[in-house]
Amino acid sequence: MISGFESIQLTTIILIVVAGFAAGWVDAVVGGGGLIQLPALLLVPGIAPVQALATNKMGSIFGTATSAATYYRRVGPDLRTAVPMAVIALGGSFGGASLAASLPAGVFKPIIVVALIAVALFTALKPNVGDLTALRHDGHKHYVVACLIGAVIGFYDGLIGPGTGSFLVIALVSAMGYAFLEASAKAKIVNMATNAGALLFFLPHGSILWGIGLLLGAANMAGGYLGARTAVSQGSKFVRVVFLVVVAALIIKLGYDVWLDNFA
């Protein structure tokens, strides 16, 4: 199965396109589009989990590149912070992807659920956080913190993935002091790099379903463009609300996975 279309029905193709568009929109606003896109890919008959992960990354990189370009034109995020962070994140993502086959995601899921609950409570109980940019660090320390965030979350994205964009946004808001809108703009640049890092690992292994990946990429691009424009026009308060909704969905999804792994 090279293209992914060999045994797939038209209704499934349509569902994948719709999921790709919705995932691109959500990813552009605040991250977390994999919650929508990955389950749709798993509907492809005979697809292996690694193929779903690799094809998901391929589709996502089109969307994150489009939304990053849109944000750059309309918000103008500081590339002196975003680019080094993205480079470090790319390396971290490659390293995480290389370990993904040997370390079961189930080991990490309970920790991620707890972290997401803490993130949701922090955001909900501090309604003014992320309204305006008020940087917490300056000079050398600012770039060190940015690169540490890129390394850790990049590694997480390559290893497991769900909620990478959301983790990037909250880290940029809470640890660095960016407003939600500017944090989301920088997160797209970094997320594009983490997708690229994982793809660099997956490409030589022949895991990508090229036909579905390109179709997914086109849908992601459309969703990413619209999502970025929506976020820019609505501002940080809108991004914050969508962020809380996506984080709640992540908690429910990963919490359910933990329950299945341990109690079902």
What parts of the chain have a pLDDT lower than 70? Answer: 1-2, 4, 101, 103-108, 264
What is the chain's length? Answer: 264
Give the whole-angstrom CA distance, residue 28 versus residue 168. 12
Give residue 207's pLDDT.
Answer: 81
Asked whether 94 and 193 are in contact (CB, 8 A), the reply is no
117-to-94, 152, 183, 199 alpha-carbon distances in Å:
27, 19, 20, 30
Picking from 74, 106, 72, 26, the residue whose alpha carbon sits closest to that of residue 190 is 72
Give residue 81's pLDDT.
Answer: 94
Give residue 7's pLDDT.
Answer: 72
Give residue 145's pLDDT.
Answer: 96
Give the whole-angstrom CA distance, residue 260 versus residue 262. 6
Residue that has been written with the tokens 């640890």 in this structure: 175
Give residue 106's pLDDT.
Answer: 63
For the record, the structure tokens of 17 come out as 């396109």
Coil, strand or helix at 32: coil
Give residue 101's pLDDT.
Answer: 63
pTM value is 0.86
Give residue 39's pLDDT.
Answer: 85
3-state helix, strand, coil in the chain (%, to 5): 80, 0, 20
For the record, the structure tokens of 226 come out as 């619209």
Picking from 206, 212, 86, 203, the residue whose alpha carbon sits closest to that of residue 153 is 86
20-53 pLDDT, tens digit per residue, is 999 999 999 988 888 888 888 888 888 887 788 8
For the record, the structure tokens of 104 come out as 């079961």
